[in-house]
Amino acid sequence: MSRTIIWYSDGAASTVAGMLTLKNNPSAIPVYTATNSEHTDNVRYRKEVEDKLFHKKVLVLQSKKYKDIWDVFEKTGWLVGPNGARCTTELKKKLRQKFQRVDDVHVFGYTADSRDAKRALKFKRNNFELIVKFPLIDRGLTKSDCLEIVRQQGIEIPEMYKLGYPNNNCIGCVKAGQRYWARIRRTHPDVFERMSKVERKLNVAINKKEIDGERIKVFLDELPEEIDITEPEQSVSCGLFCGQYLDEE
């Protein structure tokens, strides 16, 4: 018998996608791929989701090779590039691929926001062999809708949202831009300092700027102090199609 797998991430969108799926299919399995680099408040949030919405435990998958994103950076010497982020590949995608079966139905929390909807189409196109469902897009639910639904269910939203981040990703996402990192510098200066040192050690800059048509590195320790962090940031995807390291051991 085929399984329905809810790919849960401690974010509002995957929470609502899981809630909607489990109402119609109580046997569906919520699965979380742990990076061990998220905000500690996520433990509290996930427990509330399990108790109040899912009424079952979330199955946690974890890499046996890497303990967190920093371990990935250290052992692979890779942050981010044209093929995506190595941390996502090692700590999320490979775990999903080992866990999944050919006939599984995969539920993802992509929202109806235009940027996210495009990601869903890209994922479906690049993973044509998978049976996928996007319940939020089907219902026209946006990320804002999902946050409000979570609140209405009596669950306090995760701390990263309260700090002004549009996603509840790892603290210190290598796919994020300068405004995100300027905010990290304020809210998590220890993470900012640690990533600054990793950049210099690997001689890789997460951010770039364009001068006369040429892309120039901007290291975190060179990030201007005057960057405006009052403006909303772009959503950063930590989806399961980031990276191209599918054949590596």
Can you read off the two tokens belonging to residue 234?
């772009």
Chain segment 128-184, per-residue pLDDT in tens: 999 999 999 999 999 999 999 999 999 999 999 999 999 898 999 999 999 999 999
Residue type, 89: T
- pLDDT recorded at residue 209: 83
Contact 113, 235 (CB under 8 A): yes
Two tokens, residue 30: 């919520």
The CATH number covering residue 56 comes to 3.40.50.620
User: How much is the pLDDT for 249?
Assistant: 26
Closest CA to 90 of 106, 69, 110: 69
pLDDT of residue 231: 56
pLDDT at 242 over 60: no
Q: In whole angstroms, what separates CA 147 from the centre of its chain?
A: 16
Whether 57 maps to a domain, the answer reads yes
- pLDDT at position 37 is 97
Same domain, 101 and 9: yes
pLDDT of residue 230: 64
In the three-class reduction of DSSP (H, G, I as helix; E, B as strand; rest coil), residue 62 is classed as: strand
If one counts the domains in the chain, the total is 2
The pLDDT score that the predictor gives to residue 246 is 24
Instruction: Evaluate whether residue 246 is within a structural domain.
Output: no
Residues 22 and 89 in one domain: yes
The pTM of this model reads: 0.88
C-alpha dihedral sign at 188, 115, 85, 83: negative
For the chain, what percentages of helix, strand and coil (3-state, to nearest 5) are there?
45, 15, 45
Are residues 87 and 14 both part of a single domain? Answer: yes
Closest C-alpha among 68, 79, 13 to residue 37: 68
Question: Do 151 and 189 have their domain in common?
Answer: no
Q: Which amino acid is at 112?
A: A
Asked if residue 227 belongs to a domain, the reply is no
Rounded distance, CA 26 to CA 56, Å?
9
Does 126 fall in a domain? yes
In terms of domains, do 101 and 211 share one?
Answer: no
Residues 156 and 182 in one domain: no
Let me know whether 124 and 204 are in one domain: no
* Residue 36 falls in which region: left (phi positive, over 0), alpha (psi -120 to 50) or beta: left
Q: Percent of the chain beyond pLDDT 90?
A: 81
Pairing of strands 207-211, 214-218: antiparallel
φ, ψ of residue 63 in degrees (nearest 5): -65, 140
Q: Does the residue 26 lie in any domain?
A: yes
List, for residues 181-229, the tens digit of each pLDDT value: 999 999 999 999 999 999 999 999 999 887 777 888 999 999 999 887 7
Is residue 169 a part of any domain in this protein? no
pLDDT recorded at residue 212? 72
* pLDDT at 9 exceeding the cut of 80: yes
Range 20-43 average pLDDT: 97
Same domain, 24 and 72: yes
What dihedral angle (degrees, nearest 10) is formed by the CA atoms of 114, 131, 33, 171?
-10
Residue 79 lies in a domain: yes
Question: With contact defined as beta carbons under 8 Å apart, do 20 and 139 qualify?
Answer: yes
68 and 115 fall within a common domain: yes
Of the listed ranges 79-83, 141-145, 231-235, 243-247, the one predicted with least confidence: 243-247
Residue 186 and residue 150 in one domain: no
Q: Quick one: which of 48, 31, 57 has its CA closest to 159?
A: 48
Mean pLDDT over 3-11 rounds to 97
* DSSP letters spanning 152-199: HTT-PPPHHHHTT-SS---SS-TT--HHHHHHHHHH-HHHHHHHHHHH
For the chain, give the mean pLDDT: 90
pLDDT at 229: 72
77 falls within a domain = yes
Q: What is the pLDDT of residue 124?
A: 94
Determine the structural domain holding residue 200 and report its residue range: 178-222
Closest-CA residue to 91 (of 23, 8, 30, 35)? 35
90 and 191 co-located in one domain? no
My answer on whether 150 and 84 are in the same domain is yes
Look at the block and give the residue holding tokens 């060179």: 222
Lowest pLDDT segment from 41-45, 71-75, 176-180:
176-180
**Which has more pLDDT, 51 or 247?**
51
Amino acid at 115: R
Q: How large a percentage of the chain has pLDDT more than 70? A: 92
